[in-house]
């Protein structure tokens, strides 16, 4: 199986007219069914499988190679965060959206630290899910402003703790513009919003994000934010 990173932000099935392959993971069959019905109505999305726990999710992902995984956090055998780590280890290109009732800062942070690229609360309108799938498949980090605020709060807490840690090995140097982009990513902005804020094109934003991920040797935007906070490239207060 060939491995691709998210560094070029180009989905595996982009540009070839192929549907977005989605794996649904939740221990409640009714939730899986409602998600399946919502996604099945979309001509550009194909549900390729369902799993009832994290262990089954990892096994199915390796076999079915989904583009996007809708992942519950609280599950038996292996929780969603552990399953996310497992899937990202074998399939770095997979986009994972956490779907959960929890809006706790710690859960949110751990999800993105594990490699998730989106975070939806289960009270979300069901018709918003297809757009979230398309968004992360297109290279965006999907998180609503309220959750972004919680994430920044957790980043700030970690940043204060990390300030007391002895310096580690030198980290790759980012340009001033790349740092501007990274700060806006940390605020939960998508490419379009960042482009508007910095008066540059969306393609330029994409190029900056790609360069950031290449330099830091990471696979997703939120991984880059976590890394930057930990290594004190970003100070969030």
DSSP per position, 117-164: -EEEETTS-GGGHHHHHHHHHTT--B--HHHHHHHHHHHHHHHHHHTT
Over range 134-150, report the average pLDDT: 73
Residue 25 C-beta-side C-alpha neighbours within 13 Å: 34
For residue 171, what pLDDT is reported?
A: 60
- Going by CATH, does the domain composed of 20-143 fall within 3.90.1720.10? no
Residue 74's pLDDT is: 87
Q: Are strands 45-51 and 20-25 parallel, antiparallel or unpaired?
A: parallel
Verdict on whether the full-model pTM lies above 0.75: no
Q: Which fold has domain 149-230?
A: Arc Repressor Mutant, subunit A (1.10.10)
Would you state the pLDDT for residue 237? 52
- Give the three-state DSSP class for 173: coil
Q: Which of 217, 214, 78, 237 is nearest to 159 (CA)?
A: 237
- In the predicted model, is pLDDT for residue 190 greater than 70? yes
What number of residues does the chain have? 237
Task: Quote the CA–CA distance of 143 and 136 in Å, as a whole number.
Answer: 10
122-129 average pLDDT score: 84
What is the CA 160 to chain-centroid distance, rounded?
A: 24
Q: Which two tokens stand for residue 33?
A: 């069914």
Residue-wise pLDDT for 67-112, tens only, equals: 999 999 888 888 999 999 999 988 888 999 988 776 666 677 788 7
Return all residues near 37 (Cβ < 8 A) that are at least 6 apart. Answer: none
Tokens of 46: 């194909």
* Strand pairing report for 68-72 and 45-51: unpaired
- Domain map (residue ranges) of the chain: 20-143, 149-230
CA distance 14 to 217: 23
| Cα distances (angstroms) measured from residue 43 to each of 38, 110, 126, 155 | 11, 33, 16, 38
Q: Which residues pair with 79 in a beta bridge?
A: none
Q: What percent of the chain has pLDDT over 90?
A: 37
Is the model's pLDDT at 1 over the cut of 50? Answer: no
């Amino acid at each position: 199986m060939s491995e691709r990173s998210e560094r070029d932000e180009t989905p595996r099935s982009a540009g070839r007219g192929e549907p977005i392959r989605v794996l649904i993971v939740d221990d409640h069959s009714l939730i899986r069914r409602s998600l399946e019905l919502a996604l099945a109505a979309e001509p550009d999305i194909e549900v390729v499988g369902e799993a009832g726990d994290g262990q089954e999710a990892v096994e199915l992902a390796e076999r079915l190679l989904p583009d996007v995984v809708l992942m519950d956090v609280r599950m038996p055998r292996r929780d969603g965060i552990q399953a996310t780590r497992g899937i990202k280890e074998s399939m770095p290109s997979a986009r994972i959206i956490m779907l959960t009732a929890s809006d706790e800062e710690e859960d949110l942070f751990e999800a993105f630290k594990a490699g998730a690229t989106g975070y939806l609360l289960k009270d979300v309108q069901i018709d918003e899910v297809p757009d979230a799938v398309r968004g992360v498949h297109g290279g965006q980090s999907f998180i609503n402003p309220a959750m972004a605020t919680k994430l920044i709060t957790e980043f700030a807490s970690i940043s204060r703790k990390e300030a007391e840690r002895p310096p580690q090995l030198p980290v790759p140097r980012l340009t001033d513009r790349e740092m501007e982009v990274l700060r806006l990513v940390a605020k939960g902005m998508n490419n379009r919003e960042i482009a508007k804020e910095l008066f540059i094109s969306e393609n330029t934003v994409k190029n900056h994000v790609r360069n950031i991920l290449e330099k830091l040797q990471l696979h997703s935007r939120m991984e880059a934010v976590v890394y930057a906070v930990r290594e004190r490239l970003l100070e969030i207060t």
